[in-house]
């Protein structure tokens, strides 16, 4: 892609910041003012707060993703991964699907303004066996796979006579007690408890759910009091919560904990935090000790001309608190608002107008603990149980992009209250060609038409 006379805005990342910033830019800019190019490895944006409900079957997985080409109709979408950025030459190197083919070359995209918002990736530790047996929970594919996996474990436990295999199949270990870990465990435990009614030889008490957390509390984002309530609620559902405990190993399908316990398990879900995308280290731009880009309050990267950053990728000063050196937390609440300020400031710079600082005080936190249970801290007020769960759903539904997705999700919630929950595993979706390969590789004659 060569340079054009029209200024080119290159947006790296199609997540919260990337999609919302591009959406605001295409709405406010005229076509002759700028060309907007969005680079994202997937052709959709994933609304991650709804992944636990997608995993539990409360929402169809296709409704928690937003097609970028449909929403960003005035932008050019490139499905690919940014591999490097040269701020001096103002060129980004992007690996596309063609790059993976033999002889394919990486795409070099010149830009006039650069928005860096690649998000974050799972923060893993060198735990033996984690790469082989661990399951992540950051993408819709992982959510679908985990749902199928949990239901398959019930099938395995129901059909085996081996006590050790049965015990491992019915033991589910989650590492990390932040939003992702607690909500995923709570929703899947709720789903599995409902599903066992259809198994003649599995009882609810046979299921073992273990939550491992290195700190001394769960859900630190909602406050200590609500964290204790959430812990009591989960323990009341026979969830084994291990605080100040680490995962030392998970080789040979045995989770070895720092307290000395050994748990045979076929399910180990890793939700122990995130880290900045590896791309940031290859940009040559100034980084903090935690690997995030140093940005000022206007969301420009310090020491770089025409480079902007927000969300998980940027360390943005938190002007809402008086503590020196305070930074905005890398969460969705800040990312959505930073995207708007970033887009407005970029437009202001194009038009020669003054920029504004980003300032936002946390409005609160919400977390689901499964169907009809939750915790919420909204504008200084603590909510528990059904009211908190309802606030959780209303808040995230209001933040879901596009009216189309909002309507579909709301319809699914209404229908789920009228009909029974679907608890079928579609694990074969992960290997769609397996049946054909088996047929094509065998000596049997083709099935008659």
CA 233 to chain centre: 25
Same fold, 8-122+275-351 and 130-272: yes
Phi/psi at 50 (5° precision): -95, 5
Query: Which of these, 241, 265, 261, lies nearest to 252 by C-alpha position?
Result: 265
Query: pLDDT over 70 for what percent of the chain?
Result: 95
| Segment 8-24 mean pLDDT | 95
Pairing of strands 107-110, 91-96: antiparallel
- pLDDT at residue number 58: 87
pTM: 0.88
Report yes or no: 285 and 304 within 8 Å, Cβ to Cβ. Answer: yes
Work out the mean pLDDT of the chain and round it to a whole number: 90
Buried b (16+ CB within 10 A) or exposed e, 365-396: bbbbbbbebbbbbeeeeebbeeebbebbbebb
- Positive or negative torsion for Cα 429, 431, 433, 436: negative
Confidence of residue 360 (pLDDT cuts 50, 70, 90): confident
The more confident residue out of 362 and 185 is 185
Query: SS3 letters for the chain?
Result: CCCCCCCEEEEECCCHHHHHHHHHHHHHCCCCCCEEEEEECCCEEECHHHHHHHHHCCCCHHHCEEEHHHHCCCCEEEEEEEEEEECCCCEEEEEECCCCCCCCCCEEEECCEEEECCCEEECCCCCCCHHHHEECCCCHHHHHHHHHHHHHHHHHHHHCCCHHHHHHHCEEEEECCCHHHHHHHHHHHHHHHHHHHHCCCCCHHHCEEEEECCCCCCCHHHCHHHHHHHHHHHHHCCEEEECCCCEEECHHHEEEECCCCEEECCEEEECCCEEECHHHHHCCCCECCCCCEEECCCCEECCCCCEEECHHHEECECCCCCCCCCECCCCHHHHHHHHHHHHHHHHHHHCCCCCCCCCCCCCEEEEECCCCCEEEEECCEEEEHHHHHHHHHHHHHHHCCCHHHHHHHHHHHHHHHHCCCCCCCCHHHHCCCHHHHHHHCCCCCCCCC
Cβ neighbours, 10 Å, residue 181:
24
Q: Which one of 1.10.15.40, 3.20.20.110, 1.10.10.10, 3.50.50.60 gives the CATH number of domain 8-122+275-351?
A: 3.50.50.60
Dihedral over alpha carbons 342, 345, 351, 354 (to 10 degrees): -170
| Segment 55-73 mean pLDDT | 91
261-265, 269-273, 365-369: range with highest mean pLDDT = 261-265
The more confident residue out of 3 and 390 is 390
The more confident residue out of 447 and 320 is 320
| Segment 163-167 mean pLDDT | 95
- pLDDT at residue number 449: 45
Contacts with 307 (C-beta within 8 Å, 6 or more apart), sequence order: 87, 113, 114, 116, 285, 300, 301
- pLDDT at residue number 445: 52
Whether 225 shows a pLDDT value over 80: the answer reads yes
What are the extents of the domains in the chain?
8-122+275-351, 130-272
| Segment 33-42 mean pLDDT | 94
Span 130-272: which CATH code?
3.50.50.60
Measured N-to-C along each axis, helices 179-195 and 140-159 cross at an angle, to the nearest 10 degrees, of 40
């Amino acid at each position: 892609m060569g340079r054009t006379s029209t200024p080119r805005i290159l947006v790296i990342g199609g997540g919260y910041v990337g999609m919302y910033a591009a959406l605001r830019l295409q709405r406010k800019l005229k076509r002759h003012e700028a060309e907007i190019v969005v680079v994202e490895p997937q052709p959709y944006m994933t609304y991650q707060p709804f992944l636990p409900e997608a995993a539990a079957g409360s929402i169809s997985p296709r409704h928690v993703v937003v097609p970028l080409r449909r929403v960003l109709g005035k932008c050019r979408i490139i499905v690919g991964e940014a591999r490097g950025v040269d701020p001096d030459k103002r060129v980004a190197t992007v690996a596309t699907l063609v790059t993976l083919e033999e002889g394919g070359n990486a795409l070099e995209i010149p830009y006039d303004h650069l928005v860096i918002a690649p998000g974050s990736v799972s923060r893993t530790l060198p735990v033996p066996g984690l790469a082989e047996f661990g399951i992540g929970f950051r993408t819709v594919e992982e959510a679908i796979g985990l749902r199928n996996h949990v239901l398959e474990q019930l099938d395995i436990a129901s059909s085996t006579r081996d006590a050790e295999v049965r015990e491992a199949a019915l033991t589910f270990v989650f590492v990390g007690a932040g939003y992702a870990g607690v909500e995923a465990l709570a929703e899947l435990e709720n789903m599995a408890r409902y599903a066992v009614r259809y198994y003649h030889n599995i009882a609810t008490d046979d299921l073992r759910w273990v939550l491992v957390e290195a700190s001394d509390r769960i859900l630190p984002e909602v406050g200590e009091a609500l964290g204790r309530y959430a812990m009591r609620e989960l323990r009341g559902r026979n969830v084994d919560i291990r605080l100040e405990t680490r995962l030392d190993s998970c080789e040979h399908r045995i989770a070895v904990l720092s307290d000395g316990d050994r748990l045979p398990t076929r399910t180990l879900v890793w939700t122990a935090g995130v880290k900045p995308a590896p791309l940031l280290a290859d940009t040559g731009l100034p980084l903090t000790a935690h690997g995030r880009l140093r940005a000022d309050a206007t969301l420009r990267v310090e020491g770089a001309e025409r480079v902007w950053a927000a969300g998980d990728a940027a360390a943005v000063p938190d002007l809402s608190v008086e503590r020196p050196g305070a930074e905005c937390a890398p969460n969705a609440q800040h990312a959505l608002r930073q995207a708007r300020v970033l887009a407005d400031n970029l437009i202001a710079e194009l038009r020669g107008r003054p920029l504004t600082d980003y300032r936002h005080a946390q409005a609160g936190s919400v977390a689901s603990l499964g169907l009809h249970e939750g915790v919420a801290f909204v504008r200084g007020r603590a909510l528990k149980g059904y009211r908190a769960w309802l606030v959780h759903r209303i808040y995230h539904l209001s933040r879901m992009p596009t009216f189309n997705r909002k309507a579909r999700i709301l319809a699914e919630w209404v229908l789920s209250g009228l009909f029974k929950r679907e608890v079928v595993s579609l694990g074969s979706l992960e290997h769609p060609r397996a049946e054909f390969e088996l047929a094509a590789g065998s000596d049997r004659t083709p099935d008659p038409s």
